[in-house]
Every structure is written in structure tokens, then in C-alpha cells.
Amino acid sequence: MSLTVILDLQLKPETVAAAPAMLRKILAQTRVFDGCLGVDVLVDTENATHLILLERWASTEADTAYRDWRAGAGATEIGSLLASPPTITQFEIASDI
């Protein structure tokens, strides 16, 4: 079953200008990762430091493999942009509603 993941990011105000370049590089890798069905970046219209990454994965296993890769060999420096740790929430489609 496919999975939708919301990654909620709060940038440091001083990193807003640098964030797009770093995110382009990171998300280029994410988008070609096995099982990634797409990633959209949403910018809060009232707060440019608040971003939501809306990720779609073919399966929970694909997402888990990606998170494991990012925790190891695929680690990035995105933490240097963040004012607080990211929040990750995973959603499945409710087929019975």
C-alpha cells in the first residue's frame, strides 16, 4: 500500500535564502530513490521559514529504506538550516471510508 509522508520543517530565518539550493540537491536524490513516487515542497504563505515536504512512497518498506539511507550513507547537512528538529508524519489511504 502506498504511503504519504509529511515532513514539517522550520527553517532558521537566516537560512531561508540558502534553503532552496540545498533542498534542490537533496530532493533530486530523494526523487530518484527506489519507491519514491514524488515530492512536493509547500511554503507557508504567511511564514517563509515554514516548509512542508509532501512525499509519496510506493510502500512503507520503500520509505523505511529511504529513511535508513538518509540516516547513514545518504546523510545531508539540512540540520544546519533548521530551527528545530523536523516532524515526520506518515499516512495511509483509508480504503474503508
Burial of 46 from C-beta contacts in 10 A (0-12 / 13-18 / 19+):
exposed
Helix (H, G, I), strand (E, B) or coil at 90: strand
Cell digits for 3?
Answer: 504511503
Give the pLDDT of residue 1.
82
Q: Which domains does the chain have, with CATH numbers?
A: 3-91 (3.30.70.100)
- Residue 61 CB-half CA count within 13 A: 2
The Cα 43–Cα 55 span in angstroms is: 14
Q: pTM of the entire structure? A: 0.91
- Residues 6 or more apart in contact with residue 64 via CB below 8 angstroms: none
pLDDT tens for the chain, residues 1 to 97: 899 999 999 999 999 999 999 999 999 999 999 999 999 999 999 999 999 999 999 999 999 999 999 999 999 999 999 999 999 999 998 888 8
Give the pLDDT of residue 46.
98
26-37 residue pLDDT tens = 999 999 999 999
